[in-house]
Structure 1
Amino acid sequence: MKKDFYEILGITKSADAAEIKKAYRKKAIEFHPDKNPGDKEAEEKFKLAAEAYEVLSDPQKKAKYDQYGHQAFDGAGGFGGGHGGMNMDDIFSQFGDIFGSAFGGGGGFSGFGGGGGGQRRVKGSNLRIKVKLTLEEVANGVEKKVKVKRKIQASGVSYKTCSTCNGQGQVMRVTNTILGRMQSASTCPTCGGSGQILDKKPNNADAQGMILEDETVSIKIPAGVVDGMQLKVANKGNDAPGNNSIPGDLIVAIEEIEHETLKREGENLHLDLYISFAEAVLGVSKDIDAINGKVRIKLEEGIQSGKILRLKGKGIPSVNGYGNGDLLVHVNVWTPKTLSKEQKQFFEKSLTDENFIPHPEKSDKSFFEKVKDMFS
């Protein structure tokens, strides 16, 4: 079972952005590989802290995590759902600045960051797509194959060390202030922080040695996702220039297609069932639409319009794996608008018939009571 992100950083859900950042920096420095060489347990905690910070520092991801837990990010791998796709390069390329001067100013280690004297790893830009899902696909989970146009390094391209920063990816500046001489580091304007510049490129490549290529990407979407939820496929975004770069990610936004008869409310489904007056009086068995096909239900004699039948477990699975919601069938007795002469005479005679005079029982809840029960 995955450990809670708040517990990993030692904070509460009420922590603000500054507290989250402070807590992550403390944990990251404590378990930094430079302070714990060869310690696999410390490295694992370092990665867990980075994973927790990656989610909790983003307001949208934090809101989804607070609502759905780890399942909000499962199914696509990478950050935010399990750090199996993470490595130290991911962490330092995104959060290296948080370490400040604690490790030589760059936050890196073993030659990956600025502090170790090696080149920085640059991450490519993310790509974003929308994937439309039917309600059936949402309920059962699905694997989608999508064609993505990605920037990748061209075949035959080569890079060399940037002469401006000598491969560090940063340039140092010294300025005079009233407090004395101050030294600051900034991203190298020549190489953009990669520490490398283009050496040779084929004719079909752009100024950074990149070309556009179509790639079919497989996306595993778990059951129970909601409209607007975002999944991530690691390393399926654009490549970045340089021999030491890593690709960005593919961000997948879920868009749910409205069902013809079923309406979704969280994990529950609602269905309006219209029956005739005769069916309401006599009782009848009906085949109704459920998420995975037809379901037969029995309507008792004398069923009232507004009655709600609850079919347990016939709704949408919880994205957290806590079981299924329910299907709520709203019974509506259809009143005919035109009658034959004989039919009209029948109902005129029934106006004073004792069986046709309303006699609601205490167990027959009002409309407002039904609405209250539905939302409680």
Structure 2
Amino acid sequence: MAKRDYYEVLGVSRDVSAADLKKAYRRVAMKHHPDRNPGDEEAENKFKEASEAYEVLSDAQKRSAYDQFGHAGVDQSAGMGGGAGAGGFGSFSDIFGDVFGDIFGGGGRGRGGPSRGADLRYNLELSLEDAVRGTNVQIKVPTLVACDTCDGSGAKKGTSPKTCTTCGGIGQVRMQQGFFSVQQACPTCRGKGSIITDPCGSCHGQGRVEQTKKLSVKVPAGVDTGDRIRLSGEGEAGAEGGPAGDLYVEVHVKPHEIFQRDGADLYCEVPVDFVDAALGGELEVPTLDGRVKLKVPAETQTGKLFRLRSKGVTPVRGGARGDLMCRVVVETPVDLTGKQKELLKEFQATMKGGKNSPRQSSWFDGMKNFFGDMKI
């Protein structure tokens, strides 16, 4: 049975934000969770389907691949065995706690631990040559890194955070709402589970400081504008020693003075003087691999495309190398001398209308038909 579209499974649009995506998943997961529907195989399958959809769409890299290639783009990495998928259901109370935690100012299930740092994005401009061949670039990224003085704990050197006595280090407290018992973030430690009584002087208890990191980025051959390179763990450091987020390097290929890229193919315009276009000739044209000869047959017209096979781009995701498409532009001569003008007039006198200029002749015939045989 064919898989349903992940956005359809969660009932969201393709431009849904991360926050709204999470809310949509919670609604579907709560409705079909096996704890609420014991013995209901259809509900269990729908819960697994929603978990798989959320696992892919909540990951920026997987979501990008899914948006471009559908299920084929994520089938190798997405599965039903992770998180709350087929291998083990997240408990209903976990999802239920998430919803009410958000309503009452908390932040989901047990927050008694350091949180992951934010992901970062860096826009990388590349020349067409570097994008096609691949390269290594050095970048500078302003970010938050773990404080060296306190090793990211936020506490003064020689001290450590104290377990919160209000929540006992869990980061959550329970409150009674009628016949519901609802969890919310501990108001004393704000869900952290610990309190810093003697903060570090370098980071003022935050566990992180601002720093510009120098990173080396390996750009694979064949990347194009919009492609992203993920550097795991190079995002912002997590608060209080938490794991760092990721850095996403987004590629932007600068315009080229000769070539335009369309997928795996390259296009360029080749100016040809009208004598070579009429009589035929051989030209040198540029490629990314160097110059090659292009034979122009006699009577070539402007707009004629010549294909140079395998002179384009090898896509970053694999596949055959593209072609170079050369579009001929017949160039009218300028700055003519008196002698050259006389020769052209003599040449013009020898022209035999439609025989030498069939396109011009057919165009005038069309004009006559359009205006009802009006003399032009």
Name the structure 2 match of 1:298.
Answer: 295
The aligned runs of 1:59-208 (5 Å cut-off) are 62=63, 64-68=65-69, 100-101=92-93, 105=97, 119-157=112-150, 158-175=160-177, 180-208=178-206
* Post-superposition CA distance 1:308-366 (Å, at most 9, x none): 11122222222321222221111001002332222222222222435782136xxxxxx
- Residues 150-175 of structure 1: CA deviation (Å, up to 9, x unaligned): 32222342433233432223332322
Deviations 1:79-114 (A, max 9, x none): x9969xxxx9xx69xxxx98641589579xxxxx98
The AA in structure 2 aligned to 1:296 is K
The letter for the 2-side match of 1:240 is G
1:255 aligns with 2:252: yes
Kindly indicate whether residue 357 of structure 2 is the aligned counterpart of residue 358 of structure 1: yes
1:29-68 paired onto structure 2 within 5 Å:
53-57=54-58, 62=63, 64-68=65-69
Name the CA shift for 1:246/1:71 in 2 (closer, same or farther; >3 Å): farther
TM score, norm. by length of structure 1: 0.67
**Deviation of the 1:133 alpha carbon:** 1.0
Relative to 1, partners in 2 of residues 1:82 and 1:194: Cα closer, same or farther, differing over 3 Å?
farther
In 1, Cα distance between the equivalents of 2:133 and 2:70?
19
CA-CA distance at 1:246 after TM superposition: 1.0
- Secondary structure of the residue aligned to 2:179 is strand
Report how many aligned residue pairs link the two structures: 310
Among candidates 221, 224, 234, match of residue 223 of structure 1: 221
Residue deviations 1:129-188 (CA, integer Å, cap 9, x gap): 11111111211222322222332222342433233432223332322xxxx432322334
Structure 2 residues without counterparts, runs of 5 or longer: 13-23, 35-47, 100-106, 151-159, 360-376
Q: Report the CA distance shift for 1:156/1:197 in structure 2 as closer, same or farther (over 3 A).
A: farther
1:344 alignment partner in structure 2: 341
Q: Deviations over 1:224-247 (max 9, x none)?
A: 33323333211111112235x211
Decide whether the 8 Å contact of 1:25 with 1:99 is kept in 2.
no
Structure 1 residue identity aligned to 2:357: P
Amino-acid identity (%): 30
SS of aligned partner of 1:125:
coil
Q: State the Cα RMSD in Å.
A: 4.2
- Partner Cα distance (1:23, 1:223) in 2: 42
CA distance in 2, matches of 1:342, 1:210: 79
User: Paired residue for 2:325?
Assistant: 328
Q: Report what 2:207 is aligned to.
A: 209
Alignment pair present for 1:312 and 2:313? no
Is the 2:94–2:108 contact (alpha carbons within 8 Å) kept by the matching residues of 1? no
Q: Report the residue type matching 2:136 in the other structure.
A: E
**Contact 2:267/2:325 (CA < 8 Å) preserved in 1?**
yes
Q: Shift of residue 69 of structure 1?
A: 6.5
Q: Is the 8 A contact 2:111 2:192 kept in 1?
A: no
**1:281 to partner: Cα distance:** 2.8
Q: Letter of the 2:358 partner, please give it.
A: H
Larger mean CA deviation between 313-322 and 129-138 belongs to 313-322
Given that residues 221 and 314 in structure 2 are in contact (C-alpha distance below 8 angstroms), is that contact kept between their aligned partners in structure 1?
A: yes
Amino acid of the structure 2 residue aligned with 1:223: A
Name structure 1 gaps, 5 residues minimum: 1-5, 31-45, 74-79, 108-112, 361-376
SS in 1 for 2:143: strand
1:230-270 superposed Cα distances (whole Å, 9 cap, x missing partner): 33211111112235x21111122222111111112233221
